[in-house]
Each structure stands twice: as C-alpha cells, then as structure tokens.
C-alpha cells in the first residue's frame, strides 16, 4: 500500500460549522500541516519515552533528580526572560473553557489572568475546538456578546482592564481526529496552539500583549524542549519577534516535579512561570506508582490537601525553584461554586478559600487560581495583604526550603486511610463528570465544586489502585475489601439515584449509561488506561 501523498494543508474531516471558515483558513491549515510534519515525530518519541520511564518506576518504585542534568541545577547564573508587563502581576487567575459566555465573564471577572482552557475544562468536541478559537478572536476584536436562554445579555465591559489571556492547549497524548495531515491525525496540542497563534499572535502584539500559553501534563524537560522549538519555529514562520511567546508550565505530573529547574531552563527565553495543581498531580502519582505497593496508596482525594507533607514539599520546592530563576510561582485552584440557596455553605467555603489563599501568599506564591468570579475578591485580598503595591514576590527566594527526592513521594507521611464514603464519592463524581463530558461539557459543577477532567482521572485511578492494592474500608460496621464487585454495586446504586433525581425522561436524554460503563471500564480493567479521555474521545459526537 503506497503512502498518502503529502498535502500542503491539514485536511478537515467534519460536518461544517457556522463561521468555521474564519478559523480554518487555507493559510491556517497550511501552518498546522507544517507544525505536524516538523514536530509530531518528536511528540511520538516522547510519548514512547513516557512509557519507558513508567516501566522503570514500576521496576524500582522510586524517582530521583536527574544526575545528567545536575549541572543545570547547580549553575546559579541563568534566569528566565523577564516577564512582559501583562504578566508581571498575576495575583489572581480565573480558569474556564472558551465557550462564549465564559469568555465574556472571565475577561470581565477582575482577575489579572484568564486561563482560556482547551484542555481539562473543555470536552474536545469539534464544535468546542473551532468555536472556542472563534470566541477568542471575537473577544480580541470586541465583537462578542451572548444572550442566555433566559434572555440575559452578556458583553465585554466598554472600558477598563480585561484579564490577560493565557491559553491552555490539549496535552500531547490526545490527537484531533477531525484534522489530518499526511494521512495521520494532527495532535490536539498542535491544533490548539497553531490556530490560536496563527490568528492572534500579531493582533496581541499590537495590543501590547502577546501569545501566552499554559503547557499541560508535561512529564519531562525534553517535552519542554519540544515546546520551545515549536515556539521558535512559529515565531520565525509568522515574523513575530523571538521571545514574544511566554509559557507557564503546569507541574502536574510527579516526574516533572523532579525536573522543574530543567523545564524552566529549556524554556528560559519563553518561560513565565510554573503552576502547582492538585488533582492531575495526584492522578500522576497513582498512575506511575499504581503497582508499587501499599505505601503509595492515596486516601480519599478530598483528604489529600495541599498541606499534606508530600504536597508541601512539592509546592515549596516549586516556589523556591521559580524565584531562584526569576519566574512566577502560581498556586492551585479554589474550585468552590457558590450556592444560590445556602448562605451558610457559602460562608464556610469562602472561609476555607480565604485560608488557602492566605497560606499560598504566605508561602511565597505570586498568584493563584479560582474557578468562579465570586472568588476573585477573596483571592485578591489574600495576595494584596502580602504583596501590597508590588506586582509579585519573586524576590522572596525561599532559601530555607530544602526538599529531598524521597519527600516528594512520601505518601505514608499523610495519616489518612481510604474510606467507603471516599469510594462512593469517586464513583458519584466520576459518573456525573463523564456524562457531562460526553455531552460536550468540560467544566462541570458537582456538589458545589467545579470539576474538570482531572477530577475524573483521580477518581477512577483511585478506584483502580484500591482494588489492586487490596485496600479495605469500613462499611455498615464491617471491614470489607474494595473489589470490582463492590464498585459495580456502588455504581449501580449511583445510576439508580441519578435516575430518581433527574426523572426518567431527562435520564434517557442523557449519556448516563455510557458514563457508567466507561467509568467501570477504566476503573476495573486489568490494563490501566493512561488517560480516561482516550477511550472517552471515541464516544464524543
């Protein structure tokens, strides 16, 4: 069979969408094809390297700082490029998908930065991929508005400072099946980056800003090097000055936590900072150490806060690393969604958010994430109290911090055990999130928390780990093992509860059975799926 004839354009294989021609221009599709040919082979090699490293962790049950890059860590002379003015003050960042309503609300929110998310907070339907790009273009052109089904109209503020956009493309593992080049799907990361950069880089420069990115699920400094090479090529290709791009890397994998300085070094001409997350980070720990014995078993996900000793080691090392190299350290997510009916729930949750943000500001972080506009003033007040008129606290070097390799994976330092309620919550949240994701929603309010794909990943991973590690929990006064049979029973009960809660008609109109079946597939299969979103993507319309 002969190889497909190379095309100068990436080929679209999808039903047409309104106004897609404004995004999928011939020039943009040619740019995607160029990115694909130059960089997808290296992407493939790095994905293979992930598998090799994971096998090594399974064999040794350990991780360490890399001896071959010690010279980078020991060289005190290098720094990342100075932050552009638009990213000098990042004390509050709001996150969310790029649907039309969220685009307006995030830009108007009062946050300094909006993480415009094509990754975990966005189900990668073709509509979301293309129209999300269009919404950003419309926002920059100030021609965006939205009217809700209830008749409420949303529009950008006519004056005043809007949040600076930092766009998050998809991770390297997910291909975009609706765009092909040379007979292969183009990686979703290149689609998201390429379309955004092609259409907006010059426009943003003219606005006094630039194309800024959050890089997700990075697992090594070699993956950071790939991104840096992409930035260099893209800037040259479109005639944008080198160093215009800025990237903040999410340290949300356990392997990346051991390579933070090297990641900043590889991106040093384009680096803006590092971010400390929770759910993807815990998911990565389970994924990599899932068959390494009981000492790596995590308790209920809500019991693992950022104050757990191994999480403190991770976040404090991140702050020290960033400030040593002149980069911003950005803290984790406040995911609470205010209740419209229960003021007491809101008061208690707001107090927890305030304490969390005060802790981050006190630890030296330069900013932090929130999921809802009502949390912006709370986070801002916490950082204002520490920063005052300063844009950041990068001068606080945290030289008191000394973290060993073993401390980053000292799961046993957390004195908490898995519980039956934790198992039930994992099943409940997993089914409810996956059902919404299959309908095209990536950011979903569940039990007053804004959940995204990382939530489902840690939920199903913990179920898998607890079964395979022989975990026991207390239920109805008895000690019972966590087994596939128990999980199936809990899942069946949850499905019945949802049917009762929603009513038969709404239940039938949803994707509940598919969500139930997929959760059990990725939680119970002997072969652990690297990402839940890979089999889930095959079910997306």
Q: Given pLDDT bands bounded at 50, 70 and 90, which one contains residue 265?
A: very high
Q: Which strand (E) or helix (H) includes residue 383?
A: helix 376-387
Q: What is the mean pLDDT of residues 34-55?
A: 98
Catalytic one of 117, 175, 366, 452: 452
Is the CB of residue 305 less than 8 Å from the CB of residue 428?
Answer: no
Phi, psi of 171 (to 5 degrees): -70, 165
How many other CB atoms are there within 10 angstroms of residue 417's CB atom? 14
Q: Work out the mean pLDDT of the chain and round it to a whole number.
A: 96
User: How far is it, in rounded angstroms, from Cα 215 to Cα 469?
Assistant: 32
- 94 neighbors 370 (Cβ within 8 angstroms): yes
State the DSSP code for 336.
B
Nearest to 267 by CA among 284, 300, 242, 288: 242
- Is there a catalytic annotation at residue 452? yes
Are the beta carbons of 324 and 316 closer than 8 angstroms? no
Domains of the chain (ranges plus CATH)?
Answer: 20-334+341-407 (3.20.20.360), 417-537 (1.20.1220.12)
Q: Is the pLDDT of residue 16 over 90?
A: yes
β-strands 367-370, 92-97 pairing: parallel
Distance CA 362, CA 365 (A): 7
3-state secondary structure 222-283: HHHHHHHHHHHHHHHHHCCCCCCCEEEEEECCHHHHCCHHHHHHHCCCCEEEEEECCHHHHH
| Residues 433/508, Cβ–Cβ less than 8 Å | no
Tens digits of residue pLDDT in 327-349: 999 999 999 999 988 999 999 99
Whether pLDDT at 4 is above 70: no
Q: Which residues is 12 bridged to in the sheet?
A: 179
The pLDDT of residue 7 is 67
Q: What token pair was written down for 145? A: 């508005």
Is residue 161's pLDDT more than 80? Answer: yes
In tens, the pLDDT along 459-478 reads: 999 999 999 999 999 999 99
Place of tokens 């993956």: 223
- Of 436, 458, 441, 447, the closest CA to residue 97 belongs to 441
Residue 1's pLDDT is 43
pTM surpassing 0.95? yes
| CA distances to 82, 138, 198, 240, 248 from 206, in Å | 19, 16, 14, 11, 22
How do residues 107-117 score in pLDDT, each as one tens digit?
999 999 999 99
Average pLDDT over residues 369-393: 98
- Within 391-468, residue ranges assigned H as helices are 420-438, 453-468
The conformation of residue 5, written as its DSSP 8-state character, comes to P
91 belongs to the catalytic site:
no
pLDDT, tens digit, 9 for 90 and up, residues 228-261: 999 999 999 999 999 999 999 999 999 999 999 9
Residues 57-78, mean pLDDT to the nearest whole number? 98
- DSSP code of residue 84: P
pLDDT of residue 541: 80
Set 168, 290, 301, 398: catalytic member? 168
CA contacts within 13 A on the Cβ side of 341: 2
Torsions phi, psi for 160 (to 5 deg) = 95, 170
């Amino acid at each position: 069979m002969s190889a497909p004839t190379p095309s100068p354009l990436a080929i679209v294989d999808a039903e047409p969408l309104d106004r897609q021609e404004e995004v999928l221009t011939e020039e943009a599709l040619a740019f995607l094809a160029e990115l694909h040919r130059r960089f997808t082979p290296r992407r493939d090699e790095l994905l293979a390297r992930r598998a090799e490293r994971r096998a090594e962790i399974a064999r040794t049950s350990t991780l360490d700082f890399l001896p071959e890059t010690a010279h980078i860590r020991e060289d005190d002379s290098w720094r990342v490029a100075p932050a552009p003015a638009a990213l000098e003050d990042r004390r509050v960042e709001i996150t969310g998908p790029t649907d039309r309503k969220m685009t307006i609300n995030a830009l108007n929110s009062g946050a300094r930065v909006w993480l415009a998310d094509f990754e975990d907070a966005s189900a990668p339907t073709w509509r979301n991929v293309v129209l999300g790009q269009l919404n950003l273009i419309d926002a920059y052109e100030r021609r965006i508005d939205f009217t809700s089904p209830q008749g409420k109209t949303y529009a950008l503020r006519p004056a005043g400072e809007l949040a600076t956009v930092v766009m998050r493309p998809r991770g390297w593992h997910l291909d975009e099946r609706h765009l092909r080049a040379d007979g292969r799907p183009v990686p979703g990361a290149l689609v998201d980056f390429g379309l955004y950069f092609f259409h907006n880089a010059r426009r943003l420069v003219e606005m006094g800003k630039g194309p800024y990115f959050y890089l997700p699920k990075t697992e090594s400094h070699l993956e950071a090097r790939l991104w840096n090479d992409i930035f260099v090529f893209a800037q040259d290709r479109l005639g944008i000055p080198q160093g215009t791009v800025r990237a903040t890397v999410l340290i949300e994998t356990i392997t990346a936590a051991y390579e933070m300085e090297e990641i900043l070094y590889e991106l040093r001409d384009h680096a803006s900072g590092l971010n400390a997350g929770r759910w993807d980070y815990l998911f990565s720990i389970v994924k990599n150490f899932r068959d390494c014995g009981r000492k790596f078993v995590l308790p209920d996900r809500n019991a693992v806060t950022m104050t757990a000793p191994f999480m403190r080691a991770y976040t404090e090392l991140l702050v020290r690393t960033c400030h040593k190299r002149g980069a911003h350290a950005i803290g984790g997510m406040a995911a609470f969604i205010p209740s419209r009916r229960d003021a007491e729930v809101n008061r208690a949750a707001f107090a927890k958010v305030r304490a969390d943000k005060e802790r981050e500001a006190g630890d030296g972080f330069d900013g932090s994430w929130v999921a809802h506009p009502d949390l912006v003033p709370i986070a801002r007040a916490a950082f204002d109290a520490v920063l005052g008129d300063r844009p950041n606290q990068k001068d606080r070097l945290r030289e008191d911090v000394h973290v060993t390799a073993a401390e980053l994976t000292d799961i046993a330092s957390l004195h908490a055990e898995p519980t039956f309620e934790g198992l039930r919550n994992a099943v409940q949240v997993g089914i409810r999130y996956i059902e919404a994701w299959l309908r095209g929603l990536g950011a979903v309010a569940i039990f007053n928390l804004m959940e995204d794909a990382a939530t489902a990943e840690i939920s199903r991973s913990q179920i898998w780990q607890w079964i395979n590690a022989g975990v026991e929990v207390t239920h109805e006064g008895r000690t019972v093992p966590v087994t596939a049979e128990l999980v199936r029973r809990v899942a069946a009960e949850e499905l019945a509860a949802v049917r009762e809660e929603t009513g038969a008609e709404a239940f039938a109109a949803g994707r509940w059975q598919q969500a139930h079946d997929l959760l059990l597939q990725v939680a119970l299969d002997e072969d652990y799926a690297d990402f839940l979103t890979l089999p889930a993507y095959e079910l997306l319309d």
